[in-house]
Structure 1
Amino acid sequence: MKIKRAEQLRENLHGLAESLGNLLVESFHYLALFAIGGITAWAAVMAFLGMVEKGHITVDDILLLFIYLELGAMVGIYFKTNHMPVRFLIYVAITALTRLLISDISHHHRPDLGVVYVSGAILLLALAILVVRFASSRFPSVQTEAPPGRKRLRRAPSEAEEEA
């Protein structure tokens, strides 16, 4: 009888610790997402104000705003789905490399091997997106049960499914 009671106490303690742990982790999760989203929005506004103050906007500046847009979209998607879209990270990297390439060419006006390296990196990232898209359409993620109070995650439709 005492063993049964001790086992029940252990299970209750385990459940309490798990609930408290989930509360702390989710609290940190939301706090960090709000902080990252706020910092991204603040950086975008400050960059925009710097462009306005400068009096003209370059292609570099526009690409920087696109980077901020993609980062904000990543935070929003992660907040809504609790799933990090790897493709968005690759899009940010491609945009950053394109910005670097345009900046390098417009400021130095001379082609060199660095242009080839950056172009090759952009090509590799584009191929990585192709692989990720193919893998996600061929091997969709498994639907999982959500914790109480949260919506169950669904796989995002592929481009072929969206067109249908």
Structure 2
Amino acid sequence: MKMVLMISADLENITELEPRKGTDDPNFAYYFKMKCGACGELSQKETCLILSETTPMPNSRGTANLVQKCKFCDREGTVTMEPGHGRPLLLNVSMKANYAPLMKFDCRGLEPVEFSFGRGWKARSTAGTIFKDIDLSGGEYAEYCEKGNLPVMISNLRSKFVGTK
């Protein structure tokens, strides 16, 4: 099953929000819980996936960004990230309460759920100032743009996973 991580937020005087090196940032850390596709067990701890980190898949010549066994039923699953499908969350998308795709995942035996916004985000103000290394783990971000003489804020963070082809 292929899943796309979709994000949205309320942006105040921010024109775009994305990982600090773009949507295909090889070192951006994605944190979420995993659900076993066989028994439905939800992992207790968050799992971290990073595009630049891969591991060999069992009984295969390929690699995946995650190979994990379910602690309940002992079935193994994999998740492989597919770059090139994401784009920044833009102000006009945010104003309509719509979502922007961030990353696509090829999931086999596992399903990502409950994405956690964390560190490593970048935002551009309406005045053109770029704010780097934003930490959204607290649920919001507020700063002052001196160039535009205006406050900037990112709040009401939302995410969802959508099945795709």
Q: TM-score, normalised by structure 1?
A: 0.23
Larger relative helix fraction: 1
Larger relative strand fraction: 2
Between the two structures, name the one with larger relative contact order (CA 8 Å, sep ≥ 6): 2
Q: TM-score, normalised by structure 2?
A: 0.23
